Structure 1
Amino acid sequence: MTADDSGAGDGGTYTLVVEVATDAQLTVGALGAVELLAGGYTYTGSAHGPGGFARVDRHREVAAGERDVRHWHVDYLLGHPAATIRDVVTTPRLDVECTVAAALDDGPIPGFGSSDCGCRSHLAHWPTVDDARRAATRAHDEARGSKA
Protein backbone atom coordinates (compact mmCIF):
# COMPACT_ATOMS: atom_id res chain seq x y z
CA MET A 1 0.00 0.00 0.00
CA THR A 2 1.12 3.52 -0.63
CA ALA A 3 0.31 6.87 0.91
CA ASP A 4 -0.34 6.80 4.65
CA ASP A 5 -0.24 3.29 6.13
CA SER A 6 -0.13 4.31 9.80
CA GLY A 7 -3.11 2.87 11.61
CA ALA A 8 -3.92 0.59 8.69
CA GLY A 9 -5.56 -1.94 11.04
CA ASP A 10 -8.15 0.69 11.99
CA GLY A 11 -9.61 0.89 8.52
CA GLY A 12 -10.42 4.03 6.60
CA THR A 13 -10.63 4.91 2.92
CA TYR A 14 -8.80 3.13 0.13
CA THR A 15 -8.34 3.43 -3.60
CA LEU A 16 -7.43 0.42 -5.69
CA VAL A 17 -5.23 1.19 -8.69
CA VAL A 18 -6.20 -1.38 -11.31
CA GLU A 19 -4.73 -2.12 -14.70
CA VAL A 20 -7.08 -3.34 -17.41
CA ALA A 21 -4.69 -4.81 -19.97
CA THR A 22 -7.13 -5.00 -22.90
CA ASP A 23 -10.53 -3.54 -23.69
CA ALA A 24 -13.04 -5.58 -21.71
CA GLN A 25 -16.76 -6.26 -21.60
CA LEU A 26 -18.31 -7.40 -18.36
CA THR A 27 -21.66 -7.59 -16.64
CA VAL A 28 -21.77 -5.67 -13.37
CA GLY A 29 -24.74 -6.80 -11.28
CA ALA A 30 -27.75 -4.49 -11.67
CA LEU A 31 -25.68 -2.06 -13.77
CA GLY A 32 -25.72 -4.62 -16.58
CA ALA A 33 -23.28 -4.92 -19.46
CA VAL A 34 -20.45 -2.39 -19.52
CA GLU A 35 -17.39 -1.82 -21.66
CA LEU A 36 -14.04 -0.76 -20.25
CA LEU A 37 -11.16 0.59 -22.27
CA ALA A 38 -7.66 -0.67 -21.57
CA GLY A 39 -5.68 1.51 -19.18
CA GLY A 40 -5.53 2.43 -15.53
CA TYR A 41 -8.53 2.63 -13.21
CA THR A 42 -9.08 3.90 -9.71
CA TYR A 43 -11.79 2.43 -7.51
CA THR A 44 -12.41 4.16 -4.19
CA GLY A 45 -14.08 2.44 -1.25
CA SER A 46 -14.28 2.48 2.50
CA ALA A 47 -13.23 -0.06 5.09
CA HIS A 48 -14.62 1.16 8.40
CA GLY A 49 -16.05 -2.11 9.68
CA PRO A 50 -14.46 -4.41 12.24
CA GLY A 51 -12.12 -5.94 9.65
CA GLY A 52 -10.74 -2.58 8.54
CA PHE A 53 -8.46 -2.84 5.55
CA ALA A 54 -9.00 -6.63 5.43
CA ARG A 55 -11.52 -5.66 2.74
CA VAL A 56 -8.54 -4.88 0.49
CA ASP A 57 -7.26 -8.43 1.08
CA ARG A 58 -10.66 -9.71 -0.05
CA HIS A 59 -10.38 -7.62 -3.23
CA ARG A 60 -6.94 -9.13 -3.86
CA GLU A 61 -8.41 -12.64 -3.47
CA VAL A 62 -11.10 -11.88 -6.06
CA ALA A 63 -8.47 -10.49 -8.44
CA ALA A 64 -6.31 -13.59 -7.95
CA GLY A 65 -9.23 -15.93 -8.68
CA GLU A 66 -9.23 -17.26 -5.11
CA ARG A 67 -12.78 -16.04 -4.39
CA ASP A 68 -15.75 -16.35 -6.75
CA VAL A 69 -18.42 -14.42 -4.83
CA ARG A 70 -19.42 -11.15 -6.49
CA HIS A 71 -20.81 -8.91 -3.74
CA TRP A 72 -19.71 -5.40 -4.78
CA HIS A 73 -19.51 -3.78 -8.21
CA VAL A 74 -15.72 -3.84 -8.06
CA ASP A 75 -15.79 -7.65 -7.72
CA TYR A 76 -17.03 -7.90 -11.30
CA LEU A 77 -14.13 -5.77 -12.52
CA LEU A 78 -11.51 -7.54 -10.42
CA GLY A 79 -12.81 -10.95 -11.46
CA HIS A 80 -12.18 -10.19 -15.14
CA PRO A 81 -8.97 -11.78 -16.51
CA ALA A 82 -7.79 -8.45 -18.01
CA ALA A 83 -7.84 -6.71 -14.59
CA THR A 84 -4.94 -6.65 -12.11
CA ILE A 85 -4.57 -4.66 -8.87
CA ARG A 86 -1.31 -2.71 -9.22
CA ASP A 87 -1.41 -0.61 -6.05
CA VAL A 88 -3.56 0.49 -3.13
CA VAL A 89 -3.59 4.02 -1.71
CA THR A 90 -5.04 4.42 1.78
CA THR A 91 -6.13 7.07 4.22
CA PRO A 92 -6.43 5.36 7.60
CA ARG A 93 -9.11 6.29 10.13
CA LEU A 94 -10.81 8.92 7.94
CA ASP A 95 -14.07 8.60 6.04
CA VAL A 96 -13.11 10.50 2.90
CA GLU A 97 -14.43 8.01 0.35
CA CYS A 98 -16.70 10.42 -1.53
CA THR A 99 -14.19 13.28 -1.28
CA VAL A 100 -11.50 11.12 -2.88
CA ALA A 101 -13.85 9.67 -5.51
CA ALA A 102 -15.03 13.16 -6.48
CA ALA A 103 -11.43 14.36 -6.83
CA LEU A 104 -10.60 11.52 -9.22
CA ASP A 105 -13.19 11.79 -11.99
CA ASP A 106 -16.84 11.33 -12.87
CA GLY A 107 -16.04 7.82 -14.03
CA PRO A 108 -16.85 5.79 -17.11
CA ILE A 109 -19.76 3.88 -15.51
CA PRO A 110 -22.45 5.90 -13.71
CA GLY A 111 -23.40 4.31 -10.39
CA PHE A 112 -20.32 2.06 -10.18
CA GLY A 113 -19.56 1.62 -6.47
CA SER A 114 -21.77 4.54 -5.53
CA SER A 115 -25.19 2.98 -5.01
CA ASP A 116 -25.13 4.00 -1.32
CA CYS A 117 -24.15 7.67 -1.79
CA GLY A 118 -24.79 10.62 -4.05
CA CYS A 119 -21.62 10.31 -6.13
CA ARG A 120 -21.85 9.69 -9.85
CA SER A 121 -19.25 6.89 -9.69
CA HIS A 122 -16.38 5.59 -7.56
CA LEU A 123 -14.57 4.22 -10.62
CA ALA A 124 -12.40 6.46 -12.81
CA HIS A 125 -10.39 5.73 -15.96
CA TRP A 126 -6.87 6.95 -16.76
CA PRO A 127 -4.72 6.41 -19.86
CA THR A 128 -2.08 4.53 -17.83
CA VAL A 129 -1.64 2.85 -14.46
CA ASP A 130 0.99 5.46 -13.54
CA ASP A 131 -1.54 8.25 -14.24
CA ALA A 132 -4.09 6.44 -12.07
CA ARG A 133 -1.57 5.96 -9.24
CA ARG A 134 -0.53 9.63 -9.27
CA ALA A 135 -4.15 10.79 -9.29
CA ALA A 136 -5.09 8.48 -6.40
CA THR A 137 -2.12 9.58 -4.31
CA ARG A 138 -2.89 13.25 -4.94
CA ALA A 139 -6.60 12.80 -4.13
CA HIS A 140 -5.81 11.05 -0.83
CA ASP A 141 -3.21 13.66 0.11
CA GLU A 142 -5.71 16.45 -0.55
CA ALA A 143 -8.48 14.68 1.37
CA ARG A 144 -6.21 14.18 4.40
CA GLY A 145 -5.24 17.87 4.22
CA SER A 146 -8.88 18.95 4.16
CA LYS A 147 -9.56 16.95 7.35
CA ALA A 148 -6.50 18.24 9.24
Structure 2
Amino acid sequence: MKGTYCLIIRCRGTETRTGGLGTMRFPPGYYVYVGSGFGSLEARIRRHLRAEKRRRWHIDYLLSDAEVVGVLYSTDKRRLECAVSEKLEGEDSIRGFGCSDCRCKSHLHHFKTRDEAEKAVERAFRELGAVPEKWDEI
Protein backbone atom coordinates (compact mmCIF):
# COMPACT_ATOMS: atom_id res chain seq x y z
CA MET A 1 0.00 0.00 0.00
CA LYS A 2 1.23 3.50 -0.88
CA GLY A 3 -0.15 6.93 -0.07
CA THR A 4 -0.37 9.95 2.20
CA TYR A 5 -1.08 9.88 5.95
CA CYS A 6 -1.88 12.29 8.76
CA LEU A 7 -1.00 11.49 12.36
CA ILE A 8 -3.37 12.99 14.93
CA ILE A 9 -1.17 13.69 17.96
CA ARG A 10 -2.19 14.68 21.50
CA CYS A 11 0.37 16.87 23.23
CA ARG A 12 0.05 18.02 26.83
CA GLY A 13 2.57 20.77 26.15
CA THR A 14 6.30 20.24 25.87
CA GLU A 15 9.58 21.80 24.92
CA THR A 16 12.03 19.51 23.18
CA ARG A 17 15.12 19.59 21.00
CA THR A 18 13.94 18.80 17.48
CA GLY A 19 16.98 17.79 15.45
CA GLY A 20 18.32 20.60 13.28
CA LEU A 21 15.44 22.92 14.23
CA GLY A 22 16.81 23.27 17.76
CA THR A 23 14.66 23.47 20.87
CA MET A 24 11.00 24.04 20.08
CA ARG A 25 7.97 24.71 22.27
CA PHE A 26 4.77 22.80 21.54
CA PRO A 27 1.69 24.23 23.30
CA PRO A 28 -0.95 21.76 24.54
CA GLY A 29 -3.53 20.56 22.06
CA TYR A 30 -3.75 18.33 19.03
CA TYR A 31 -1.33 18.33 16.14
CA VAL A 32 -1.63 16.92 12.65
CA TYR A 33 1.59 15.69 11.07
CA VAL A 34 1.38 15.09 7.32
CA GLY A 35 3.63 12.51 5.70
CA SER A 36 3.75 9.98 2.91
CA GLY A 37 4.71 6.39 2.38
CA PHE A 38 5.34 5.56 -1.25
CA GLY A 39 7.66 2.67 -0.39
CA SER A 40 5.27 1.18 2.16
CA LEU A 41 2.55 3.25 3.80
CA GLU A 42 1.94 0.55 6.41
CA ALA A 43 5.60 0.37 7.44
CA ARG A 44 5.86 4.15 7.75
CA ILE A 45 2.74 4.43 9.93
CA ARG A 46 3.80 1.48 12.12
CA ARG A 47 7.21 3.07 12.64
CA HIS A 48 5.59 6.26 13.91
CA LEU A 49 3.43 4.23 16.30
CA ARG A 50 6.40 2.34 17.83
CA ALA A 51 7.74 3.69 21.10
CA GLU A 52 11.32 2.57 20.46
CA LYS A 53 12.99 3.96 17.36
CA ARG A 54 16.04 5.88 16.26
CA ARG A 55 15.29 9.59 15.96
CA ARG A 56 15.54 10.34 12.26
CA TRP A 57 12.86 12.90 11.40
CA HIS A 58 11.51 15.97 13.21
CA ILE A 59 8.36 14.04 14.16
CA ASP A 60 10.41 11.43 16.04
CA TYR A 61 11.45 14.10 18.54
CA LEU A 62 7.91 15.32 19.17
CA LEU A 63 6.57 11.77 19.52
CA SER A 64 8.99 11.10 22.38
CA ASP A 65 6.82 13.54 24.43
CA ALA A 66 3.41 13.17 22.74
CA GLU A 67 0.96 10.43 21.74
CA VAL A 68 -0.53 9.42 18.38
CA VAL A 69 -4.27 9.05 18.99
CA GLY A 70 -5.40 8.58 15.41
CA VAL A 71 -4.22 8.17 11.84
CA LEU A 72 -6.08 9.13 8.69
CA TYR A 73 -4.66 8.16 5.32
CA SER A 74 -5.41 7.92 1.62
CA THR A 75 -4.10 5.39 -0.87
CA ASP A 76 -4.52 7.88 -3.70
CA LYS A 77 -1.65 7.34 -6.12
CA ARG A 78 -0.90 11.07 -6.32
CA ARG A 79 1.72 12.54 -4.00
CA LEU A 80 -0.63 14.65 -1.88
CA GLU A 81 1.56 15.31 1.18
CA CYS A 82 2.28 18.96 0.41
CA ALA A 83 -1.21 19.71 -0.93
CA VAL A 84 -2.86 18.29 2.22
CA SER A 85 -0.42 20.16 4.43
CA GLU A 86 -1.12 23.45 2.65
CA LYS A 87 -4.86 22.98 3.23
CA LEU A 88 -4.23 22.47 6.98
CA GLU A 89 -1.91 25.45 7.32
CA GLY A 90 -2.86 28.11 9.82
CA GLU A 91 -1.33 30.67 12.15
CA ASP A 92 -0.55 27.91 14.68
CA SER A 93 1.35 25.68 12.24
CA ILE A 94 4.89 24.94 13.44
CA ARG A 95 7.11 26.72 10.92
CA GLY A 96 9.81 24.56 9.30
CA PHE A 97 8.64 21.32 10.92
CA GLY A 98 8.78 18.21 8.74
CA CYS A 99 9.31 20.06 5.48
CA SER A 100 13.07 20.25 5.00
CA ASP A 101 12.73 18.42 1.66
CA CYS A 102 10.02 20.66 0.14
CA ARG A 103 8.92 24.29 -0.04
CA CYS A 104 6.02 24.05 2.43
CA LYS A 105 5.92 26.30 5.47
CA SER A 106 5.14 23.32 7.73
CA HIS A 107 3.95 19.72 7.86
CA LEU A 108 2.82 20.05 11.51
CA HIS A 109 -0.38 21.90 12.32
CA HIS A 110 -1.91 22.71 15.71
CA PHE A 111 -5.61 22.40 16.58
CA LYS A 112 -7.44 22.91 19.86
CA THR A 113 -9.44 19.66 19.73
CA ARG A 114 -9.12 16.21 18.24
CA ASP A 115 -12.45 16.59 16.47
CA GLU A 116 -11.33 19.83 14.84
CA ALA A 117 -8.08 18.18 13.68
CA GLU A 118 -9.79 15.09 12.25
CA LYS A 119 -12.45 17.10 10.43
CA ALA A 120 -9.79 19.37 8.90
CA VAL A 121 -7.86 16.34 7.61
CA GLU A 122 -10.96 14.68 6.18
CA ARG A 123 -11.95 17.94 4.47
CA ALA A 124 -8.42 18.40 3.03
CA PHE A 125 -8.38 14.90 1.52
CA ARG A 126 -11.88 15.28 0.09
CA GLU A 127 -11.15 18.71 -1.40
CA LEU A 128 -8.25 17.07 -3.25
CA GLY A 129 -10.50 14.28 -4.52
CA ALA A 130 -8.95 11.66 -2.24
CA VAL A 131 -10.81 9.22 0.03
CA PRO A 132 -9.75 9.45 3.71
CA GLU A 133 -9.58 6.18 5.67
CA LYS A 134 -8.92 5.51 9.37
CA TRP A 135 -6.02 3.36 10.53
CA ASP A 136 -7.38 0.79 12.97
CA GLU A 137 -4.16 -0.45 14.61
CA ILE A 138 -3.58 2.14 17.35
In the alignment, does 2:68 pair up with 1:85? Answer: yes
Shift of 1:27: 0.7
For residue 81 of structure 2, what is the aligned residue in structure 1? 97
Structure 2 letter corresponding to 1:45: G
Shift of 1:86: 1.2
Within 2, Cα distance between the matches of 1:41 and 1:142? 20
Which consecutive unaligned segments of at least 5 residues does structure 2 have? Answer: 131-138
Within 1, Cα distance between the matches of 2:73 and 2:53? 25
For residue 41 of structure 1, what is the aligned residue in structure 2? 31
Structure 2 letter corresponding to 1:14: Y
Structure 1 consecutive aligned stretches of length 4 or more whose deviation exceeds 4 Å: none
* C-alpha distance after superposition, 1:87-137 (max 9, x if no partner): 111110331000000000145321101000000000000011111111111
Aligned counterpart for 1:28 among listed residues 14, 18, 21: 18
Shift of 1:53: 2.5
Normalising to structure 1: TM-score of the pair? 0.81
Residues 1-148 of structure 1 aligned to structure 2 (within 5 Å): 10-20=1-11, 22-49=12-39, 51-61=40-50, 65=51, 67-80=52-65, 83-92=66-75, 93-106=77-90, 107-144=92-129
SS in 2 for 1:58: helix
Contact conserved, 1:40 with 1:130, CA < 8 A, in 2? no
Greater helix fraction, Structure 1 or Structure 2: 1
Within 1, Cα distance between the matches of 2:78 and 2:48? 20
Structure 2 letter corresponding to 1:116: D
Within 2, Cα distance between the matches of 1:118 and 1:53? 26
Normalising to structure 2: TM-score of the pair? 0.87
Contact conserved, 1:91 with 1:144, CA < 8 A, in 2? no
Shift of 1:36: 0.7
Which consecutive unaligned segments of at least 5 residues does structure 1 have? Answer: 1-9
